[in-house]
Amino acid sequence: QVQLVESGGGLVQFGGSLRLSCAASGRTFSTCDMAWFRQAPGKEREFVAAISWSGRRSDYADSVKGRFTISRDNAKSTGYLQMNSLKPEDTAVYYCAAGHPDELKYERVYEYTYWGQGTQVTVSS
């Protein structure tokens, strides 16, 4: 079993930055791919970014490319999402996820086994 706890959310001004952390417990975390998803009120949970277990591969939703950076430190069992140039449309609850998704389906919610509780990110206009 892997438990994930997000932190770092909060209120930030338009154009500001925020770094989310995802602390993991469980010995298998380093073998898991990791991803960030977000969900705004009344909307489906959507893919934001993913990173392979080794950290050597990563991908991003078009809406955040060039602004967000996903990373991980397996020695610390922690994943990160650096968010820059934030926009009001980035406002959502952000969730950390881990698992062993099909390498062609890592943008899908159902591919991940472990989820954090979510952390609220609000970007003022």
* Span 79-125, pLDDT tens digits: 999 999 999 999 999 999 999 999 999 999 999 999 999 999 999 99
Instruction: Name 97's bridge partners.
Output: 35, 115
Token pair recorded at residue 85: 């140039």
For residue 120, the tally of other CB atoms under 10 A from its CB is 12
pLDDT at 29: 86
* Span 10-59, pLDDT tens digits: 999 999 999 999 999 977 888 999 999 999 999 999 999 999 999 999 99
Burial grade of 76 (CB within 10 A; 0-12, 13-18, 19 or more): exposed
Pairwise CA distance, residues 48 & 59, whole Å: 9
